[in-house]
Amino acid sequence: MLSEGLFWLGFIVSAVIGFVYFRDLGDVTQIVIKARRENMIRFIRNEYRLLGLGIAGLILMAVMHIAFGASSPWVFWPAAIVIVVLLGFTWVWVHVGMRN
């Protein structure tokens, strides 16, 4: 029961941070969703803190699934892939694609 709760806590934290990171700093999403300037500045100023928290949530989710069998593989693997894409794509886009 505790492992399920920790799994979902890690999922919620990492998914929300991944979505917000992608929404606020990803140019692709700004075509569809209008990001507020305050949100963009907040995320830029706290980028590594928020990314660390998102990655910690992903690691917590993975540990609870792999070590304790929390949730099913049909939930864990697609969620983990989507979160890694949200975090990874945006980080690469911001730091490599827009470095100049």
Could you report the per-residue pLDDT of 37-88, keeping only the tens digit for each?
888 888 889 999 999 999 999 999 999 999 999 999 999 999 999 999 999 9
Q: How many domains does the chain have?
A: 1
Q: What is the domain range of residue 74?
A: 2-97
Give 26 or 67, the one with higher predicted confidence.
67
Which pLDDT band, with edges at 50, 70 and 90, does 100 fall under? low
Model confidence pTM above 0.85: yes
Supply the DSSP string of the chain, one letter for each residue: -HHHHHHHHHHHHHHHHHHHHHHHH-HHHHTTS---HHHHHHHHHTHHHHHHHHHHHHHHHHHHHHHH--S-HHHHHHHHHHHHHHHHHHHHIIIIIT--
